[in-house]
Every structure is written in C-alpha cells, then in structure tokens.
A and B are shown apart, each in its own frame.
Chain A
Amino acid sequence: MATQHSRAAARFMIAPSVILLLAWMLIPLGMTLWFSFLRYNLLMPGANPFVGFENYAYFLSDPTFITSLINTLLLVGGVLIITVVGGIGLAVLLDQPMWGTGIVRIMVISPFFVMPTVSALVWKNMFMNPVNGLFAYVAEVLGVPAFDFLTQAPLASIIGIVSWQWLPFATLILLTAMQSLDSEQLEAAEMDGASALSRFWYIKLPHLARAITVVVLIQTIFLLSIFAEILVTTNGGPGVASTNLTYLVYAESLLRFDVGTGSAGGVVAIILANIVAIFLMRMIGKNLDA
C-alpha cells in the first residue's frame, strides 16, 4: 500500500506509456474508420467523397472476401489442430525422464525463433520445390510423381509451414504447464488404481485445460494476421487459393491502392480479431486477480 506522495509519482510514471499507446490506437484506428467511408484511391487523385457504406458493401460482396474468410478460418483452424494435438503429445513425451532432455528441448523449440520469411523460403525452395526440393527426391525414391505443393495444395502447404513454426510454442507452454502439475496428485491417482492412460485423461489433461485455452487464444491472435509466409511463397495464389483476410486487405490497399476498400477490410479484420480478443482478455484478467 502506498502514500499520497507515491500515488502522484506513480501516475506520472505511467503517463508516457498510456499516452503513446492511446495515440497509437486512436489515430490510425480513427483514420482507418474514416477512410473506410470514403471513395479514396491513391491512383486517382482528387476529391475523396464520403460514400457511406459503399466500401463495405463492395468488400463484403466480393466473392474473394468469402474465399479469403474461409481460407483464414482454415488456416487458423488447421494450424491450431496440428499444434495443439502435436504440442500435447510432445509435452507428454518431453515430460518423461530421458537422456539429453536439454538438447531435445532446444531442437524442438528452435523453429519458433526462425523468422517467418526464412522458414517460408526454406520450406518453399529446399523442401517443397517440385524439381530440386527434398520432398521431390523422397517422391523419386518412393517411385511416385513429384508433388508441386505450393501450386496444387497452396493453403495446406502454408498450414504445414506455419504449423512447423508454432508447434514449438504450443509444446513449450504445454510442457511448462505440465511440469507445474503436483506430482503428489499423480501419485495419489496411482494409489487409487488409475492406469497411465487414465492418469493422462483424468489428471493431466484437465490440468492442461487452462494452458491449452491460452495457447489457442494467443495463437489465434497471431494466426489471423499471417502475412509474410503467404507473401513469399504464393502471393496469395494461385488465383486467390491461399489469400487470407490479412493478405486481401494488403492487396487492396498497397497493390490496388484502393484505400477506401482496404480500410473497410481492415475494420472487418479488427472486428474478427476482437471476437477472439475478448475471450483471451477475460482469461488473462482472471489470472491478474489470482
């Protein structure tokens, strides 16, 4: 607890962070909102008349929007399933006693530290390339025709690349949560006659529930904004087969220079992210009281 004097000092110390973030939030957000109601194209200078919801109508009725929305959901959902299931498996495995835990751990978490452009390009060229990639070689050895991943299954390939990047994150967090489980609980369950499988199902998994939720929510926030991986591998293509919402808004804004439509798309993206954010914030807020 504190005295009057320290309270005044505290306000003074918090102010810079608050003011900066407030400016960061309000100014660009306000501008996005404002632009979304204008007919505004950088290639067509002149007046930018107010057009109400025209941009929204245009953006939302564009079939590409529906495709990109579905792609976004597939991308987020696919990566979540792979990383959470894989993460639980790896966490359970790494929690077991073994030789060389430290090195195994380091190898498993490493992909998370690889910058998105590097991992996307390495996968694209050195693994998925239908001529010189390692997968093509494996196909050759197996006697099956080489598969052109990024052309024939662009979205699935990107899901694979992104999953590789985020699997370590899920594993690390779930492993940390697993290790906070009181071993006496497990011993008590063992005394009560629970098998290894029951111990996993009734003790470990419920204990992980909270961490799983955190992983899902945080990854969702980041996965909704996947951009670099798409930009350097497929440019959203072929056609719009691997365009997600973030990439679509980028294309409208900085490739077609349609500020109005791009902004409307931005607002849609914000609304989508906020739905997830509300749940995440609630969880973290609860933790703050504890």
Chain B
Amino acid sequence: MGRITLERVQKKFGDVEVIPPLDLTIEDGEFVVFVGPSGCGKSTLLRLIAGLEDVSGGEIRIDGTAATDLPPAKRGLAMVFQSYALYPHMSVRKNIAFPLKMAGMDEEERRRRVDRAAEVLNLTDYLDRRPGQLSGGQRQRVAIGRAIVREPAAFLFDEPLSNLDAALRVGMRLEISELHERLKTTMIYVTHDQVEAMTMADKIVVLRAGNIEQVGSPIDLYRRPRNLFVAGFIGSPKMNIVGGDLASRHDAAHIGVRPEHLDIVEDGGTFSGKVTVSEHLGSDTFFHVAVPGLDEPMTVRAGGEVGLRHGDTIHLAPQSHQIHRFDDNGLRIA
C-alpha cells in the first residue's frame, strides 16, 4: 500500500517560503510526476515526503499514519537520486543488499532478493563490480535495484534520467514505466522535462514557485490547461500565445493555439507571415513564422513533406475548437 497525503504542507528556508501551504493526495499505485521549471520547489517537495527535509508546517500521512516526524528510514519509502548516489566502496551486490542489511534481513534471503532484482534489471553479470566500473545506464539500474529490493510503500525518483544521454533516456523511461506496470507500486517522479511527465504519468502535478498550478492526467493538462503557465509548459513545441486585438476578438486577454492546431491555408487565414526557419524532422516539419504585429514568431507543425523555405510567405488558420482563451490574470476562460 502507498497512499500519501499532504495537508497544508509548507517549507521555509529561514524567512524564504519555498513552498506555501499545499494539499495533495497521491493514491495507492499511482504514477505521479512533479514537473516544473528549475527552482519551482519540486525536488524540495519530494525531499519533504522522503523525510530528508523537515516540514515547516502541515502534516504528511503515509497510508493513514502520521509520518511528519518520522526519520526517512522509518517511512518505508525508497528513493532513486539524480546522481544515483551509489556507495562507491561497495560492489553492486552489496549496494543492492544494503537496505536489506539495514532491515536486519538474514543473508540467505538477501541473496535471493538481490539475485531476483538483478535478473529483472539485467544486472546479473555485473553483481561483483564496483559502481565506478559501470556505465551511466547500468548505474541507474543499480540505483533502481537498490530501491525495489526492499518493496517500499512508494518509490521516489529525483530527476533520475537527467544524467543520461538522449538515447539511453528514452530506453530507461520505458523501463521505469514497465516497472510500474509490473509492480503497481506508488511512484513519485520529479522532472523538469515535460516529455517525461506526459509519457509516464498517471497524474501530473505542475509546480511553479512552490505553488501547484494544476493537477491532472496528461491529456487533461494538454486539453484544458488551467492557466497560461501550464499552457506554455505542457506540449512541445510550445503553444503559441497571442494577445491584443486578435485575442479580444475572442473575448479574451490572451489566446493560445498549439502548433499542431494551426492549418496552413492558401490565402486568408488569421495570421500571415514569412517563414524564418524550417525544421524538417522527416515525419513532421516545424515552421517558425514571423507574423507582423506579433512579438514572437509562431510555430506551426506541418506534415513531413511540406516544402516551404526561408522567406516564403505563409497563411495560417487556427482550428476553431482548439483555441484556448485566457483572461487578464492568465486564467483559463471556460
């Protein structure tokens, strides 16, 4: 079981409030991703749950029991660190077995569990090596192995993929997702990468300056961002945001249209401009279009075969039911 609730949880460093009081419930078995730009408090929030930082106020409950004052070791949670934090002086086997040893488990059982975890994570051949002799991906796996052997109530991941190269990151992303499917254990995952958030999460928590901006499933956040910040943060490439006259025509202070919701039309359209850069990815093409009167170029997604070039004039029409409207405060207008 791993249901975690935060009630009015708050964190101050001295006089600086990094996390204003917030409430959050994480259901058992959920894969929750905390996402936000760097410095938004997502890692701090994770460390509060882990018990590596004291809360300045509020209550943390794990499966209904008060955990606010429990030391990290007593909370029954396992954590995978950004740096992996493997013990450099221990072999892989000893690293993975360490939490079991701390739990006072007998050696026979330890060996059995480590072997099983190593098998799951393809580490069997490396059990006698030291972390220093492993590649980044293998170290990552050892860190995960160390977390899963103790069968925790929940896993905490602190930007676990940020030290891996791009190809490896995609692979590990899949492995962690599969692991969640198999274990069905609660996972809390911190990242600044909205692609990781969108692909892995059951539930995304978007944070900015310690505040929860929106909580919801990936598709919710994509379809109905609650405010301009979430609208800009979720989705890649970013949503185009336009203010001024064009927005007031839609009774809004700002309107937003995602690149994939702009159609290229022969003439007319809402926006016209010149292509500044075209990025051909094969499957898709992204055009950056300088539209007179707008501060920033607009981004448009087109099919892979569209052959416009720098300097070509282009006309764009947003799909009418895909226009997001926001008021003066940046909040979504229903």
Contacts and interface: CB of A to CB of B under 8 A. Distances in A.
> Is there any pair of Cβ atoms, one from A and one from B, under 8 angstroms apart in the complex?
yes
Contacts of A5: 71
In the complex, which of the residues A1, A4, A5 has the most CB atoms of chain B within 10 Å of its own CB atom?
A: A1
A96 interface: no
Contacts of B59: none
Interface size, A (range): under 10
A6 to B, nearest CB: 10
Contacts of A3: 52-54, 71
Contacts, number: 9
A1 B52 CA distance: 8
Contacts of A4: 54
Interface in B31-72: 47, 52-54, 71
B42 to A, nearest CB: 15
A5 B54 CA distance: 10
A5 B73 CA distance: 14
Nearest to A1: B53
Nearest to A7: B54
B198 to A, nearest CB: 30
Interface in A1-22: 1, 3-5
Nearest to B51: A3
A191 B47 CA distance: 49
Nearest to A4: B54
Contacts of B53: 1, 3
A126 B93 CA distance: 61
A254 B47 CA distance: 61
A257 B54 CA distance: 60
Contacts of B52: 1, 3
Contacts of B47: 1
Interface string A48-60: 0000000000000
A1 B16 CA distance: 15
Nearest to B53: A1
In the complex, which of the residues B52, B53, B54, B71 has the most CB atoms of chain A within 10 Å of its own CB atom?
A: B54
A3 B54 CA distance: 5
B137 to A, nearest CB: 28
Contacts of B54: 3-4
A5 to B, nearest CB: 8
A3 B51 CA distance: 9
A4 B54 CA distance: 7
A1 B46 CA distance: 13
Interface in A41-83: none
A231 to B, nearest CB: 47
A46 B12 CA distance: 63
B294 to A, nearest CB: 42
A9 to B, nearest CB: 13
A3 B70 CA distance: 11
A3 B71 CA distance: 9
A198 to B, nearest CB: 38
In the complex, which of the residues A3, A4, A5 has the most CB atoms of chain B within 10 Å of its own CB atom?
A: A3
A5 B47 CA distance: 16
Contacts of A1: 47, 52-53
A3 B52 CA distance: 7
A211 B96 CA distance: 43
A4 B47 CA distance: 15
A4 B69 CA distance: 11
A5 B53 CA distance: 11
Interface in B78-111: none
A283 B178 CA distance: 52
A1 B50 CA distance: 13
Contacts of B71: 3, 5
Interface in A178-226: none
A213 B54 CA distance: 43
A144 to B, nearest CB: 62
Interface string B205-229: 0000000000000000000000000
A143 B175 CA distance: 86
A52 B40 CA distance: 63
A19 B37 CA distance: 45
Interface string B187-217: 0000000000000000000000000000000
A1 B53 CA distance: 7
Interface string B7-29: 00000000000000000000000
B39 to A, nearest CB: 15
A5 B74 CA distance: 15
Nearest to B47: A1
A42 B104 CA distance: 67
9 contacts: A1-B47, A1-B52, A1-B53, A3-B52, A3-B53, A3-B54, A3-B71, A4-B54, A5-B71
Interface of A: 1, 3-5
Interface of B: 47, 52-54, 71
The 6 A-B pairs at the shortest CB distance, nearest first, are namely A3-B54, A4-B54, A1-B53, A3-B53, A1-B52, A1-B47
Given A1-B52, A5-B71, 7 more contacts: A1-B47, A1-B53, A3-B52, A3-B53, A3-B54, A3-B71, A4-B54
